Amino acid sequence: MTQPRVLIFDTTLRDGEQSPGATMNVAEKLAVAKQLARLKVDIIEAGFPFASPGDFEAVQTIAGEVGLPDGPVICGLARATKGDIEAAAKAIAPAAKGRIHTFLATSDIHMKYKLKKSRAEVLSITEEMVSYAKSFTDDIEFSPEDAGRSEPEFLYQVLERAIQSGATTLNIPDTVGYLTPGEFGDLIRGIKANVPSIQKAVISVHGHNDLGLAVANFLEAVKAGARQLECTINGIGERAGNAALEELVMALHVRRQYYNPFFGLPVESEAPLTNINTQEIYKASRLVSNMTGMLVQPNKAIVGANAFAHESGIHQDGVLKNRLTYEIMDAQSIGLNNNLIVLGKHSGRNAFRTRLSELGFELSDQDLNKAFLRFKDVADKKKEISDRDLEAIVNNEILQVAEHFKLDLIQVSCGSNAQPTATITVRMPDGRDLTDASVGTGPVDAIYRAINRIVDIENDLIEYSVQSVTAGIDAMGEVTIRVRNGDRIYSGHAANTDIVVASAYAYINALNRLYAAMQAGVAIHPQHANVPVGTGV
């Protein structure tokens, strides 16, 4: 099936969410899905519906609210079993355009040690389960797990069987991030040459970044004929992550003249090679970072804080004379700007709402009131409010987990010759207000020790970081922390002009996530398949 451009299949809400500590609740997933729709991705893999009631609800909610006729395809992941496929079908049912993505391992090592199935059995299961999925929707994607290490001739047989059974997209995953660009390109070329019915399906690719080659692999696959790329915002995902959406899209955008001939287009063609609205990239990156608690490294391509910064005198001189001397793309092309809005403590609610709308935030009256009160509080402390400040306010006040534990008082005493001491009051899930105090090696340590005396949930703090939202002495500080409970990691995030206060709220945010997970039980993910089914990602 020939595609005139590359389809962008975003799996931030499925594979990306499986990053340790990146679990999102339904409201957070919905917020990310809405931003992905503004970004104009072609397909959103909204989750793994069979994993848990929460995952099912998230996929179903996104299907109903984001899966509109002019919106993206909403996809649900399913192992090659009837239970998984039925759950995915029910979850995506509200979408105008729904897809079931089912998968089955095809490498010898996976078939022998994980599936405990023969090649004949895998061929049979592929035919049966793809046909079963087809009974629910016409849009079926099939993935031969660990295709990169599968024996080619057997892989061709499985793919042909999937097409004949109704698959319209064939996804070729480098599940363990093992292949090099040349090998990945050869794999796609081999499939095109040896699968008889390949023209009836779109070839997709999925890959992990264990060797730092995911983006390079995908671009080579595009040259070989792949026309769907499965990627995530900021490249988040299992282990070292997935291919980064922003890097793939901007590579195809900036180097369009190089890639045009592989699409049968004239070199000078200005036709876009993806449907992505690139000016929504930076906003998507910030939102996913805030929702997951996974910070973007400063030197990250495209969306890192230093991506458009120049410190070298030679570079600065060249950029001042002509930006093209050291910049191959405009920062505004990804939606990055440093505009300051003319809003302050005397600004009205309508002006506030208007600017948020321009930034892509559509809030209910209740959420607007909540964010507006926080805006007024910040405006009393800052002379200038930037778009980044507004994003931090909205993300901090609106897109948060349920407050099972709520901070009512934070009081800290510290100094060069004083013992840091914190007094904390926490409203408990049963409505009681409990107060306690503690000393620590510093103000943040004292706060965390005091909270732990009240909220008795076992956890280990494994990461603590602070970033300023904007420049200046009055900048808001964003605090991100990660805590471990058993083999699970939970993140917390908060922003405030007082980083000590932000630290307290970030910790409570993480504890609320941990508590919610304990109440709901542990979700099943394909990588943690704790149900007696012989399949997994």
Binding residues for Mn(2+): 15, 206, 208, 242
Distances (CA, A) of 512 to 32, 97, 165, 202, 443: 20, 35, 45, 42, 21
Q: Are the CB atoms for 121 and 184 separated by under 8 Å?
A: no
What DSSP character marks residue 524?
P
Residues placed in the known binding site: 15, 206, 208, 242
Find the helix packing angle between 82-92 and 119-134, rounded to 10°.
30
Q: Are the CB atoms for 287 and 42 separated by under 8 Å?
A: no
Q: Which residues of 172-184 are buried (b: 16+ CB within 10 A; e: fewer)?
A: bbbbbbbbebeeb
Q: Positive or negative CA dihedral for 258, 260, 266, 270?
A: negative
Pair of tokens at residue 335? 């939606």
Query: Is residue 31 packed enough to be buried (19+ CB in 10 Å), middle (13-18) or exposed (0-12)?
Result: buried
Look at residues 462, 471, 519 and name the one whose alpha carbon lies nearest to residue 491: 462
Pair of tokens at residue 64? 């109903």
Q: How many residues does the chain have?
A: 537
In angstroms, rounded to a whole number, what is the distance separating the alpha carbons of residues 395 and 28? 10
3-state helix/strand/coil string of 305-370: CCCCCCCCHHHHHHHHHCHHHCCCCCHHHHCCCCCEECCCCCCCHHHHHHHHHHCCCCCCHHHHHH
